[in-house]
Amino acid sequence: MRSLILKIVLATATFFHSSVAERSQSPAKTYKQCQRQTRHPTEGCPHGTIYVARNDSGAHFDTIQAAIDSLGNTTVPGHILIAPGNYTEQLNVTRRGPLHLIGMSNKPWKGDLYSDINVNTSAQNDVQIWWNSANHNSLFTDNVYTGVLTVGPTLNATLTGSGPTGFAVPADTPFGCTDFRAYNIDFRNEVVQYSYGPAHALGVSRANAGFYSCGFYSWQDTVYVGKLGNAFFYDNIIAGQTDFLYGFGTAYIEQSTLSLRSCGGGITAWKGTNTTFTNKYGVYIDRTQLIASNYTIAPNMVGKCALGRPWNSLHRSIFMDSYFDASIKPAGYIPWGTTTPNLSNLTFMATWKDYGPGYNETAEVQSNVTLVLTDSDVTPYRYPDDVFSTPDGTFGNIGWIDQSVL
């Protein structure tokens, strides 16, 4: 039986790889000349680009945070080019003006997608940022202290808090970075090789942030998007085991890979927030593959990974036109827990035109938890401009997204 399951896993991985190849797009091209590795590092980069390298006497800084701090909290756009290497540091971005972290890579120049992998292959960017920390047994007062990268205007704005409403951010808290971007950078929180407590690779709150051909690696709570946070992911690999996409804000993940390292909790765990205006806070996954992280663990995960569970009853998430490998639980989503299901008529945990061996529309409908959407049902949430809003609820807030991928 195990041999048969393994054959099925490998066959479906090959099928997905072929289907993606037919519709693959290019990676973000905005900085492809700047990113290209040449003898003159900042060649093709915007004027004033700061160069960071671990072992290059010609670099402006040898740590990324020092380069960020040098820009100050102004509205002047900042560009930081990062040389290949391993950087062990926590990054905090509080400035309001645009900030683009540009990882050196030849992939954009060659037109190679980063996330085009399967159970037999992997990918790694040339720029790796590490910070290994987990909030195990409440070691920290808040999960934010574990993060590799945190984008938000103040400490209070980035706190996750607890309970159905989370941390109460003061009303006078300003909005943070209006246009943060990262290109071809891996953010790794690998404190242990299993869920050991919340361990952020990324946290975004009260800011607009786009990630292009990046990797986010952890096991639990990998990516956090907090209140009034807008986060766009294109051609990314996001890896985890438990609730590894979670938050209060709005995330849109396009043409990426969700790498399942094991099955625990759900892939998504979102909280909604009541507001005086219509909001679409939630996580939206489009044209993305959900696959076991490698072929050795895939047979033991068949039918065990839930699409998500509601952190509170206002959870909203949709998997759209995405590939589910055999790891996905046939019923799709699950309640939060046995005694606290967090389900109501406002809970919105949905799928739309997904496919693959892990997709079972009949089982989803019968679960009475997963919503199977029609074309008209999904229309209000289909594209980034449908869901990203300004803090006052004005939709169409996508000027900060790299236009080369829209």
Model confidence pLDDT, tens digit, residues 165-175: 888 888 889 99
Between vectors from CA 222 to CA 372 and to CA 166, what angle results, nearest 5°?
80
Q: Is the pLDDT of residue 112 over 70?
A: yes
The mean pLDDT of 132-140, rounded to a whole number, is 97
**pTM recorded for the entire structure:** 0.95
Would you give the DSSP letter of residue 65? H
* pLDDT confidence of residue 397: 98
Would you give the DSSP letter of residue 9? H
* pLDDT confidence of residue 3: 54
Q: 186 has which bridge partners?
A: 128, 215
Question: Which residue would you say has higher pLDDT here, 3 or 91?
Answer: 91
Closest of 235, 233, 303, 348 to residue 245, by C-alpha: 233
Query: 200-243 pLDDT, tens per residue?
Result: 999 999 999 999 999 999 999 999 999 999 999 999 999 999 99
How far is the C-alpha of 337 from the C-alpha of 14, rounded, in Å? 35
Query: 35-93 pLDDT, tens per residue?
Result: 999 999 999 999 999 999 999 999 999 999 999 999 999 999 999 999 999 999 999 99
Non-local (6+) Cβ contacts of 119 within 8 A are 9, 10, 13, 291, 292, 293, 294, 295, 298, 325
Question: Please, where are the H alpha helices in 74-166?
Answer: 107-110, 155-158
Closest of 240, 235, 182 to residue 211, by C-alpha: 182
* pLDDT confidence of residue 165: 84
* pLDDT confidence of residue 22: 45
How buried is residue 394: exposed, middle or buried, by Cβ count under 10 Å (0-12/13-18/19+)? exposed
Q: Is 321 left (phi over 0), alpha (psi -120 to 50) or beta?
A: left
Q: How far is CA 210 from CA 130, 164, 182, 357, in A?
A: 19, 27, 7, 31
How far is the C-alpha of 256 from the C-alpha of 247, rounded, in Å? 19
| HSE toward the beta carbon, residue 387, CA cutoff 13 A | 26
Region 2-405: CATH code: 2.160.20.10
The mean pLDDT of 331-359, rounded to a whole number, is 97
Helix (H, G, I), strand (E, B) or coil at 286: strand
